[in-house]
């Protein structure tokens, strides 16, 4: 695709703009704590690409417009007990983490939900694809044929701050490079405000002016700016709302239910619980943390995500929705159904049946064409390349294989750019990169009624083309923003 500006840049200009961009990032909160040498009192700039990556305008607009459909789809999936139970039945037999989540869900489902309203802060991740399964989708004049959904995140959907911050960083860089007329092709990005407005609206629904919003956090937070700026933005939008931060261990020790099942912690009544932790097994050290999660789910607080929303984001659910006619269970309009089905890539169950056996053989025969995904969030959990074959051969006759899904590997178009990383000595080297776009959505409602449903912004992550994973917090990707081209 056409680049935002011609590259390479002259060496003197390149070194000057890199220095300026690093300082701008540091002074405007495009930052993280170092995982290499952690210091609670120090920040370093988050990795970023120097020039915004080109992205087709029509595909960007399509991704934004379909988000409200995906919001409603996931909302309905989350409120379909039979579908979740049927879909996850075999997985929970071999995946302890998913089983424990489902046990909590089943407990509160049978007891009756104290709080029927859920807050969904979702992020649908997608990539452009250069391989065309259907000839009619091909366009010989474009370096891609379509886009496909990588996954949809229902818990701890990050980059609500870093997405807009990257856009502002690139506006500064384009201004400094003397091409301010190109800034108009960077789409407005109000993800932070949109996400925080969703939390404030949930807080208002709870209807207790003295209640607070609880962020459930990790023991050590590296991606601190992406969390704190949410807290600061909530205060800016509504100075009456206080945010408190606690980890699961602290909640296990101090949280309790009040007389009307309100969630209480350290003298505060909690209106909204926003999880930035709790999405992987290592964040639950003992039964105490699991008990805390159950306590929260039994409470009157509005959860983001509620336990059913958490489960709806499982890879196994994504795979089940990609089956022929599965979406028709939740959506009625034929055009809407077709739009959603078109974005699904190939997703295959590894259950012990003829379809699962066929998927195993398919993955063994052509491992580089697929990705293996477990029921995990947070990055660095997937299996790629020849390791797909090794894993499938070793688990071919073992029950544990059903905890995974097999997914077609998306082949995105390449772009060249400079990737700027803390402590790197390769900042001035052009690299081949690929990008993944995330679209944010906010949805609030109960089983019968959707009160709010909107698309609220975006983020772009870019990684070296040869890298498998691409998470910025995990050190593999870089902050980016889309430069829209026609």
Q: Residues at the annotated binding site? A: 123, 151, 153, 227, 315, 373-382, 384, 407-410, 436, 461, 463, 469
CA 145 to CA 332: how far, in whole Å? 27
Binding residues for substrate: 123, 227, 461
Q: Are 162 and 471 in contact (CB under 8 A)?
A: no
Structure tokens, 230: 């949410």
For residue 120, the cross-strand partners are 443
DSSP assignments along 54-100, one per residue: EEEHHHHHHHHHHHHHHHHHHHHHHT-HHHHHHHHTTHHHH-HHHHH
Structure tokens, 89: 């039945």
What is the DSSP secondary structure assignment for residue 313, as one 8-state letter? T
Binding residues for ATP: 151, 315, 373-382, 384, 407-410, 436, 463, 469
Binding residues for Mg(2+): 151, 153, 377
- How far, CA to CA in Å, does 469 sit from each of 310, 363, 381, 386? 22, 19, 9, 15
- How far, CA to CA in Å, does 3 sit from each of 276, 426, 434, 482, 483? 35, 21, 13, 11, 9
Q: Are 300 and 262 in contact (CB under 8 A)?
A: yes
Q: Are 194 and 262 in contact (CB under 8 A)?
A: no
Structure tokens, 335: 């055009």
Bridge-based pairing state of the strands 243-247 and 212-217: parallel
Report the 10 Å Cβ neighbour count for 366: 12
CA 256 to CA 268: how far, in whole Å? 11
Q: Cis omega before residue 305 (within 30°)? A: yes
CA 314 to CA 308: how far, in whole Å? 10
């Amino acid at each position: 695709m056409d680049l935002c500006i011609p590259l390479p840049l002259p060496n003197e200009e390149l070194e000057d703009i890199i220095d300026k961009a690093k300082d701008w990032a540091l002074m405007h909160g495009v930052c993280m704590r170092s995982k290499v040498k952690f210091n609670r009192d120090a920040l370093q700039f988050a990795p970023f690409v120097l020039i915004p990556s080109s992205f087709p305008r029509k595909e960007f607009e399509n991704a934004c417009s379909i988000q409200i459909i995906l919001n409603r789809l996931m909302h309905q999936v989350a409120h379909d007990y039979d579908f979740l139970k049927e879909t996850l039945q075999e997985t929970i037999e071999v995946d302890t983490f998913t089983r424990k989540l489902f046990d909590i869900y089943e407990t509160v489902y049978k007891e009756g939900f104290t709080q029927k309203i859920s807050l969904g802060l979702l992020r649908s991740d997608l990539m452009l694809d250069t391989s065309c399964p259907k000839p009619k989708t091909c366009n010989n004049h474009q370096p891609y044929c379509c886009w496909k959904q990588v996954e949809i995140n229902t818990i701890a959907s990050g980059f609500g701050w870093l997405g807009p911050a990257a856009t502002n960083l690139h506006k500064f860089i384009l201004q400094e490079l003397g091409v301010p007329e190109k800034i108009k092709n960077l789409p407005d990005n109000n993800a932070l405000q949109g996400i925080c407005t969703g939390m404030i609206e949930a807080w208002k629904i709870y209807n207790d002016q003295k209640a607070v919003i609880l962020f459930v956090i990790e023991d050590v937070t590296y991606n601190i700016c992406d969390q704190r700026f949410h807290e600061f933005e909530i205060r800016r939008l509504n100075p009456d709302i206080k945010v408190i931060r606690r980890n699961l261990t602290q909640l296990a020790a101090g949280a309790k239910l009040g007389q009307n099942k309100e969630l209480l912690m350290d003298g505060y009544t909690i209106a909204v619980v926003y999880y930035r932790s709790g999405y992987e097994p290592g964040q639950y050290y003992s039964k105490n943390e699991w008990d805390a999660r159950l306590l929260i789910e039994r409470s009157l607080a509005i959860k983001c995500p509620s336990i059913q929303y958490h489960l709806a984001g499982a890879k196994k659910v994504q795979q089940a929705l990609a089956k022929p006619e599965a979406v028709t269970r939740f959506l009625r309009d034929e055009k809407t159904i077709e739009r959603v089905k078109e974005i699904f890539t190939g997703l295959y169950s590894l259950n012990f049946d003829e379809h699962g056996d066929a998927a195993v053989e398919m993955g063994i025969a052509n491992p580089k064409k697929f990705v293996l995904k477990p029921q995990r969030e947070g990055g660095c959990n997937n299996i790629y390349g020849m390791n797909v074959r090794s894993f499938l051969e070793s688990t071919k006759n073992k029950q544990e294989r059903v905890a995974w899904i097999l997914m077609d590997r998306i082949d995105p178009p390449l772009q060249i750019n400079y990737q700027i990383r803390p402590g790197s000595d390769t900042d001035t080297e052009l690299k081949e990169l690929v990008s993944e776009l995330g679209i944010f959505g906010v949805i609030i409602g109960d089983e019968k009624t959707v009160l709010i449903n909107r698309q609220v912004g975006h983020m772009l992550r870019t990684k070296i083309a040869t890298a498998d994973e691409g998470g910025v917090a995990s050190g593999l990707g870089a902050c980016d923003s889309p430069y829209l081209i026609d």
